[in-house]
């Protein structure tokens, strides 16, 4: 890393290299897939009150990811924006691995206690939904090609989330392929006494 970033303004050049995403996540105690190697460059500009991510250019294994973003802390409501583009997303190994893992868990998982909270109940606790209000934000990802199966590749994939003021709009998904398309939209509203969720799906050529 080079450059300077202080309370006034500055610029930081980022040059990141790691064997896998999992190795990067370990630095903050997180968890990411073991994909790699990872090589990434970017510029961070502005002040601690308003940061901009420019010129993100990264290679993660065989995939190329680029994008930009912004974090504004000085607004009445802090906001986060991230726009990314990926040349290819291969879901074939991931889907098969998840199928095997789910089957294994079904066979070996102990039965839950009647008094224990479900993962959904835990997720919907008010303290776990604060991120829907502060900061507000948006995430948009475009994928040129999405490999779903050996002979099934979708094109021009788009996935986006928008959240703020207690409402999550997304994930919204669109995928297209020769002779077909799929779109999905969802919304989750926590501003009312009774939380509301909606999901819409539309597809053609699903055969």
CB 34 within 8 A of CB 22: yes
Instruction: Give the pLDDT of residue 100.
Output: 52
Instruction: Give the pLDDT of residue 5.
Output: 45
- At residue 127, does pLDDT exceed 90? no
Residues 119-128, mean pLDDT to the nearest whole number:
70
Could you tell me the pTM of the whole model? 0.72
Q: pLDDT, tens digit, for every residue of 129-146?
A: 777 777 789 999 999 988
Task: Quote helix, strand, coil % in the chain, to nearest 5.
Answer: 15, 55, 30
Q: Which residues contact 11 (CB under 8 A, 6 or more apart)?
A: 3, 4, 5, 43, 44, 45
CB 158 within 8 A of CB 141: yes
Residues 57-71, mean pLDDT to the nearest whole number:
92
- At residue 52, does pLDDT exceed 80? yes
Residues 7-17, mean pLDDT to the nearest whole number:
85
Mean pLDDT: which of 46-50, 154-158, 193-197 is highest? 154-158
Res. 70 pLDDT band, cuts 50 70 90 = very high
Q: Which two tokens stand for residue 10?
A: 């500055």
Instruction: Give the pLDDT of residue 3.
Output: 45
Kindly report the average pLDDT of the chain as a whole number.
Answer: 81
More confident of the two residues 163 and 135: 163
Residues 93-103, mean pLDDT to the nearest whole number:
52
3-state secondary structure of 92: helix
Residues 105-122, mean pLDDT to the nearest whole number:
58
Residue with tokens 């990802």: 141
Nearest residue to 170 (alpha-carbon basis) of 151, 194, 186, 149: 186
């Amino acid at each position: 890393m080079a450059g300077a970033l202080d309370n006034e303004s500055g610029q930081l050049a980022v040059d990141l290299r790691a064997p896998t995403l999992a190795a990067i996540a370990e630095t903050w105690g997180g968890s990411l897939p073991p994909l790699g190697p990872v090589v990434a460059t970017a510029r961070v500009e502005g002040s601690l009150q308003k940061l901009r991510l420019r010129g993100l250019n990264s290679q993660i294994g065989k995939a190329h990811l680029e994008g930009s973003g912004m974090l504004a802390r000085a607004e009445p409501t802090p906001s986060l924006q991230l726009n990314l583009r990926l040349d290819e997303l291969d879901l074939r190994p991931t889907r098969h691995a998840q199928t095997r893992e789910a089957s294994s868990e079904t066979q070996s998982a102990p039965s839950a206690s009647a008094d224990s909270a479900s993962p959904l109940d835990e997720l919907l606790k008010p303290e776990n939904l604060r991120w829907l209000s502060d900061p507000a934000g948006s995430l948009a990802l475009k994928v040129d090609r999405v490999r779903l199966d050996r002979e099934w590749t979708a094109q021009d994939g788009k996935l986006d989330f928008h959240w703020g003021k207690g409402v999550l709009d997304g994930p919204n998904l669109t995928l297209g392929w020769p002779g077909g398309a799929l779109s999905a939209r969802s919304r989750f509203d926590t501003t009312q006494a009774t939380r509301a969720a909606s999901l819409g799906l539309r597809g053609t050529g699903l055969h």
